[in-house]
Amino acid sequence: MNTRRAFLQNVTRSAIGIPLLSLQSAPIISSLTSCAEVADGPVLRVAIMGLGSYGARVAEAMKDCKRAKLVGLISGTPSKVTEWQQKWNIPAANCYNYENFDNIKNNPNIDAVYIITPNALHHPQTLRVAKAGKHVICEKPMAINAKEGQEMVDACKAAGVKLLIGYRLHFEPNTVEIIRMRKEGELGKLLYFQGQSGFRIGNPNQWRLDPKLAGGGAMMDIGIYSINAARYMTGEEPIWVTAQEVKTDPQKFKPGVDETITFQLGFPSGIIGSCLSTYNMNNLDRFFINGEKGFADLQPASGYGPIKGRTHKGELALPHPMHQTLQMDGMAELIFEGKQPIVPVDGAEGVKDMKVIDAIFAAVKSGGKVPIKIA
């Protein structure tokens, strides 16, 4: 709705006027320390910012977490907050709106905020959460360009809090197994990567097709999966890219919103990557890596599950828990114990993907080969 879009475009301003949802007067339970304790260790107490469909998926997944728990809500829609409060038994003292959520700095019962809002809001909201002294989990893409991403990293470092990016696939068993095979040389010298990421997008009025909120189109939303997979499946950072954009529906995909981009990545060892990102085709969700000794194929590769994989050794028959359950438990272990996943999920990892996206857009514009400087 236009009214919602107008609101979203203004939520990053300083708090002014009467808040949409006031903090309740109920006292915060002072007996709790900075984190709750269970048999497996401290529990990461998380407030979700942005109560849309993906936020709901994360909340559902956290029901099965051993190390993470949903304890707070941040939204610009009071009716959603009320609904979620009842469903998840969230105290009123842990509920905020986009204007007053800076007050979480005074709430010792929230350890981290998971930002699940439109892309363009990630940067200002991360800065505010960091300033409030809370750890940040930010959905990908972390920002609309690498410059903003680096500013987020710097702000969290200065505030002494963690910045983690919602790379759920870094914890997914089939993905992790293929990375292990690559690391242990079971695929031999790598030669080629292919990534296909796409679907036909629906409602033309949604924020994902608004360049001011999305920072782009399909590349930001779905193409980033192929970019990230190209990096973790090869174990290398790309050094150049060429890219071509095709737009068949300029009415739906307005200037600044990419519909379909094909791009080619070059890696230091000579590996070539061939990828497709689109908002106009279904049945595109595949990562394939080929080496001199074998191959690995994921299809579907990035959907919510189950991920299905096979290699030159046969089918991968690994369990399929909710990705976000593994992600949130893994992030809690990272924050509390420093346990790192097989592929990083920190802000620096997010900046690397943003540098590749910046280069892809530059290559589309120039029509030539664009160097990528990750370091």
* Amino acid found at 159: A
Spatial separation of the C-alpha atoms in residues 345 and 221, rounded to whole Å: 17
Look up 279 and say whether it is catalytic.
no
Spatial separation of the C-alpha atoms in residues 369 and 358, rounded to whole Å: 13
* Amino acid found at 153: V
What's the chain look like in SS3?
Answer: CHHHHHHHCCCCCCCCCCCCCCCCCCCCCCCCCCCEEECCEEEEEEEEECCCHHHHHHHHHHCCCCCEEEEEEECCCHHHHHHHHHHHCCCHHHEECCCCHHHHHHCCCCCEEEECCCHHHHHHHHHHHHHCCCEEEECCCCCCCHHHHHHHHHHHHHHCCCEEECCHHHHCHHHHHHHHHHHCCCCCCEEEEEEEEECCCCCCCCHHHCHHHHCCCHHHHHHHHHHHHHHHHHCCCCCEEEEEEECCCCCCCCCCCCCEEEEEEECCCCCEEEEEEECCCCCEEEEEEEECCCEEEECCCCCCCCCCEEECCEEECCCCCCHHHHHHHHHHHHHHHCCCCCCCCEHHHHHHHHHHHHHHHHHHHHCCCEECCCC
Q: Determine the pLDDT at residue 33.
A: 34
Is 49:114 a contact under the CB 8 Å cutoff? yes
Is 217:208 a contact under the CB 8 Å cutoff? yes
Spatial separation of the C-alpha atoms in residues 174 and 295, rounded to whole Å: 14
Axis-axis angle for helices 224-234, 173-183 (nearest 10): 40
Contacts of 78 (CB under 8 A, 6+ apart): 20, 21, 97
Q: Determine the pLDDT at residue 28.
A: 31
What average pLDDT values come out for the chain (375 residues) when binned by 10 residues?
Answer: 41 36 33 47 97 98 98 98 98 98 98 98 98 98 98 98 98 98 98 98 97 98 98 98 97 97 98 98 98 98 94 93 97 98 98 98 98 94
Q: Determine the pLDDT at residue 36.
A: 52
Q: Which of 288, 323, 284 is nearest to 307 (CA)?
A: 323
Q: Determine the pLDDT at residue 39.
A: 52
Q: Which of 164, 227, 208 is nearest to 353 (CA)?
A: 227
Q: Determine the pLDDT at residue 324.
A: 98
Look up 225 and say whether it is catalytic.
yes
Structural domains of the chain sorted by starting position, each given as residue range(s) with its CATH number in brackets? 2-168 (3.40.50.720), 169-321+345-371 (3.30.360.10)
Distance, first Cα to last Cα, the chain: 41
Spatial separation of the C-alpha atoms in residues 134 and 113, rounded to whole Å: 7
Contacts of 89 (CB under 8 A, 6+ apart): none
Q: Which of 69, 134, 140, 355 is catalytic?
A: 140
The CA-based diameter of the chain, rounded to the nearest angstrom, is: 65
Spatial separation of the C-alpha atoms in residues 181 and 189, rounded to whole Å: 12
Burial group, residue 160, by CB count within 10 angstroms (0-12, 13-18, 19+): exposed
Spatial separation of the C-alpha atoms in residues 323 and 332, rounded to whole Å: 14
Spatial separation of the C-alpha atoms in residues 60 and 304, rounded to whole Å: 13
Q: Which of 96, 114, 225, 279 is catalytic?
A: 225
Asked whether the bond before 118 is cis by omega within 30 degrees of 0, the reply is no
pTM assigned to the model? 0.90
Count the alpha carbons within 13 Å of 182 in the hemisphere toward its beta carbon.
27
